[in-house]
Amino acid sequence: MIKILIIDDHPLVGDGITTMLREESHLQITGICKNGKEALDFLSGNQPDIILLDINLPDIDGLELCATIRKTNKVSKIIGLTSTNEAGIITQLLAKGGNGYLLKNMERNELITAIDEVLNGKIFLSKAANQKILEQFNSVNQALENSPVLTRREKEILQLLHQGLNGPQIAEKLFLSPYTIETHRKNLMQKFNVNTTQLLLKNATEMKLI
- Do 82 and 106 touch, CB atoms closer than 8 A? no
Q: What is the pTM of this model?
A: 0.65
The DSSP letter of residue 79 is E
Per-residue pLDDT of the chain (210 residues; tens, 9 = 90+): 999 999 999 999 999 999 999 999 999 999 999 999 999 999 999 999 999 999 999 999 999 999 999 999 999 999 999 887 777 788 889 999 999 999 888 899 999 999 999 999 999 988 776 666 666 555 555 555 567 888 999 999 999 999 999 999 999 999 999 999 999 999 999 988 899 999 999 988 888 888
Backbone angles phi, psi at 34, to 5 degrees: -95, -10
Tell me which residue of 98, 78, 92 sits closest to 133, measured CA to CA: 92
Report CA 60 to chain centroid distance, whole Å: 18
Question: 135 - beta bridge partners?
Answer: none
Give the separation between CA 28 and CA 3, rounded to whole angstroms: 5
Q: Given this model, what pLDDT does residue 125 score? A: 87
Residue 143's alpha-carbon distances to 112, 140, 204, in angstroms, are 37, 5, 11
